[in-house]
Amino acid sequence: MTDRRLSSTSSGFNRRTFITAAAGTAVAVPLTARAAAVPASPASPQDPSLPVSLTLRINGEDRALTIDARTTLLDALREHLGLTGSKKGCDHGQCGACTVLADGRRVVSCLTLALVAQGKDITTIEGLGDGDALHPMQAAFIEQDAFQCGYCTPGQIMSAIACVTEGHASSDEDIREYMSGNICRCAAYPNIVAAVRQAAPEILQAAPEIPKG
């Protein structure tokens, strides 16, 4: 977390810094105190109350974790890896706020067990930009004013990128249909469609390959 963010609220803490800091603290406990008791392979029969050790590839980096087997990819990202960009909306696969890319395909991370995400290349909203340079879809969302409260936006942007690379952004009608898995309660839908339309040519030019599963 940057100093700039820390000083942006009067207390020196905003909600985002708090969640990130808390996640860092929580992960330290099982890693240090319980590591010896952790079975090496989560693929063998075991006591379900024991944590499991696994490695996730997130935004091009291998991240080792020791977590409860029940942990979803979304909770692993938010609560254990400090990546709070992916949002928890419904937590039941209905709203799309938690959308991430797995091997280039959009999935809802709230219905994906972290255990099942092993071996996949996971891309989150944090993995898009390059320093201060925004991804074309991020820039388009800002230019088209494609959000109000912003809570659904990381999921919208991840979904929008996949919508384009899948080849489903050739018309406004197509964009509306293929973005229907991302709910925006502020109803910024017309602006979201405009943002996807704006960013599509640049994204297709940069990465003309459509990811296949």
Partner 1 sequence: MRPFIYLKAYDPSAAAQALAAAGAGDNLLTDASIQPLAGGTTLIDLMKLDVMRPVTLVDINPLAAGWSQVSLEGDNLKLGALARMSDVADHPEVQQFYPVIAQSLKLAASPQLRNMATLGGNVLQRTRCTYFRDVSYANCNKRRPGSGCAAMDGFNRTHAVLGTSDWCIATYPGDFAQALIALDASVEILGKSGLRSMPFAQLHKPPGNSPQIETILQPGELISGFTITGRWPRSIYLKTRDRQSYEFALASAAVALDVQDGTVRDARVALGGVATVPWRALEAELLLKGRKLDDELARRVAEAALTGASASKHNGFKIDLGKRVVAHAVQRAAMMEI
Residues that bind partner 1 (CB under 8 A): 42-46, 48-49, 52, 68-70, 72, 91-93, 96, 99, 105-108, 111-113, 115-116, 159, 162-163, 166, 168, 176-182, 212-213
In angstroms, give the least distance from the CB of 85 to partner 1: 16
Residue 154 CB contacts under 8 Å (≥ 6 apart), including other chains: 85, 86, 87, 97, 99, 124, 125
Nearer to partner 1, 17 or 115 (CB): 115
Residue 49 Ramachandran class (φ > 0 left, ψ -120 to 50 alpha, else beta) = alpha
Residue 129, Cα to own-chain centre: how many angstroms? 13
C-beta separation of 98 from 87 below 8 A: yes
Report strand pairing: 105-108 vs 99-102. Answer: antiparallel
In angstroms, give the least distance from the CB of 43 to partner 1: 4
In angstroms, give the least distance from the CB of 213 to partner 1: 6
d(CA 1, CA 196) in angstroms, rounded, equals 30
Nearer to partner 1, 60 or 213 (CB): 213
Residue 77 CB contacts under 8 Å (≥ 6 apart), including other chains: 58, 83, 84, 86, 100, 109, 124
Nearer to partner 1, 208 or 213 (CB): 213
| Two structure tokens written together for 44 | 């063998």
Nearer to partner 1, 10 or 44 (CB): 44
Nearer to partner 1, 4 or 212 (CB): 212
In angstroms, give the least distance from the CB of 125 to partner 1: 15
- Amino acid letter, 130: D
In angstroms, give the least distance from the CB of 185 to partner 1: 15
